[in-house]
C-alpha cells in the first residue's frame, strides 16, 4: 500500500471517528443537558444559554460561533486539525437538529450531569483521536496545550468555567453547580482517556543469561529489543540490561518466558504513555 492510499485510509478513518464522536456529543446535549436545564462551557454553553434565554436553536449558534473561532485556529493550529474540526462542527450541528433519542427524564438532577459529562468526555476523546476538535473552547485548549503544555482537558475546563459560572444568572444557581460538576467529569474522563492513547508497558530485565533471554524474547515478540550497558555498584559487575516496549498482552508472555530461561532474573514493568514523540500532543 503506497503513501497516498495510507493517507486516504487515515483520512477516512479519522472522518468516521469524528462522526461517531459528534453523534455521542449531540446525545449528551439533547438527551441529558438541555432537558434538565444543565448548561455547558465554551461555545456549547453559549448555545444552551441562547436556547434557554432566546430560544435560538443550538445547531445555528454552534455553527456560527465555532466558525468564528475556526479563524483563530487557522492562525495557531495545524491546518489539518482545523479542517477536521470543521468536519466535527458540521456533524455536531446536524446531530443537534435531531430530536432526543433517549427521551430520558429524571428528578435526580445529578444523574444527567454525571452522565452528560461522561458522554462529553468520551465524545471529545474520540474526536481528538480523529485529529479534530469540537472547536469552541477545544480550539483555545489546543492552542494552550501546544504553546504552554497544559493538559487538553484541564485547559478546556478553565475556559468552560468562564462561561458556565456566569450562566447561573440564567439557569439558576443549582443548575450552574450541576454544570460545573458536568464539566469536571468530562475533563477527568477526557484526560484519562487521552492518557491511555498509545499507552504501553516498559519492561526492564536484568539477567545473568542476557543472550539466552534476548534470543527467546526476539523469537516470541518479533520486534526491537534494546540492550543497555549497566554496571552493578555492589559487585562492580558489568552486565547489559534488556529493555522492551510492549503491550499488556505481551507482558503476560514475557514474564513467564524470562522465568523459564532464568528463574533468578529481575523483571521490572513500568507504564509508559507515549512511544512516539508526535503522540505527545494527543496525550497532554
Q: Which tens digits make up the pLDDT trace of 30-42?
A: 888 888 877 666 7
> What tens digit of pLDDT does each residue of 48-61 get?
777 777 777 777 77
282: pLDDT confidence band, cut at 50, 70 and 90?
A: very low
- Cα distance between residue 163 and residue 43, in whole Å: 8
Q: Above pLDDT 70, what percent of the chain?
A: 87
Q: What is the pLDDT of residue 66?
A: 72
Residue-range domains of the chain with CATH: 3-195 (no CATH), 200-283 (3.30.70.120)
Q: What is the pLDDT of residue 23?
A: 94
Q: Is the pLDDT of residue 102 over 70?
A: yes
Residue 199 C-alpha cell reads as 499507552
The DSSP H or E segment spanning 205 is: strand 200-206
Mean pLDDT of 230-234: 83
Mean pLDDT of 185-212: 81
103: left (phi over 0), alpha (psi -120 to 50) or beta: left
Strand ranges across the sheet with 241-246: 226-228, 241-246, 200-206, 266-272
Angle between helices 248-261 and 210-221 (to 10 degrees): 140
Residue (of 66, 185, 41, 59) closest to 119 by Cα position: 185
Mean pLDDT of 104-125: 87
Q: What is the pLDDT of residue 196?
A: 67
Q: Residues 53, 56, 59, 63: what is their CA dihedral angle, to the nearest 10 degrees?
A: -90
pLDDT: which is higher, 244 or 79: 244
Amino acid at each position: 500500500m503506497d503513501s497516498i492510499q495510507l493517507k486516504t485510509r487515515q483520512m477516512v478513518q479519522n472522518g468516521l471517528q469524528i462522526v461517531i464522536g459528534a453523534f455521542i456529543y449531540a446525545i449528551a446535549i439533547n438527551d441529558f443537558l438541555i432537558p434538565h436545564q444543565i448548561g455547558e462551557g465554551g461555545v456549547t454553553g453559549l448555545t444552551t444559554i441562547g436556547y434557554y434565554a432566546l430560544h435560538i436553536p443550538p445547531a445555528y449558534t454552534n455553527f456560527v460561533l465555532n466558525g468564528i473561532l475556526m479563524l483563530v485556529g487557522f492562525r495557531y493550529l495545524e491546518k489539518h486539525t482545523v479542517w477536521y474540526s470543521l468536519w466535527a462542527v458540521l456533524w455536531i450541528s446536524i446531530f443537534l437538529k435531531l430530536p432526543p433519542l433517549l427521551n430520558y427524564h429524571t428528578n435526580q438532577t445529578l444523574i444527567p450531569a454525571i452522565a452528560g459529562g461522561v458522554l462529553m468526555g468520551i465524545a471529545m476523546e474520540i474526536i481528538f483521536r480523529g485529529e479534530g476538535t469540537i472547536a469552541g473552547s477545544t480550539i483555545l485548549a489546543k492552542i494552550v496545550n501546544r504553546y504552554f503544555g497544559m493538559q487538553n482537558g484541564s485547559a478546556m475546563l478553565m475556559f468552560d468555567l468562564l462561561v458556565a459560572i456566569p450562566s447561573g444568572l440564567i439557569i439558576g444557581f443549582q443548575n450552574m453547580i450541576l454544570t460545573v460538576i458536568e464539566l469536571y467529569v468530562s475533563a477527568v474522563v477526557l484526560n484519562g482517556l487521552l492518557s491511555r492513547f498509545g499507552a504501553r508497558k516498559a519492561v526492564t530485565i536484568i539477567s545473568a543469561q542476557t543472550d539466552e533471554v534476548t534470543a527467546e524474547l526476539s523469537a516470541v515478540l518479533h520486534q526491537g529489543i534494546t540492550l543497555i550497558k549497566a554496571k552493578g555498584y555492589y559487585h562492580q559487575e558489568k552486565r547489559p540490561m534488556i529493555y522492551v516496549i510492549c503491550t499488556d498482552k505481551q507482558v503476560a508472555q514475557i514474564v513467564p518466558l524470562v522465568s523459564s530461561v532464568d528463574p533468578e532474573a529481575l523483571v521490572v514493568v513500568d507504564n509508559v504513555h507515549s512511544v512516539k514523540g508526535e503522540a505527545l500532543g494527543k496525550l497532554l
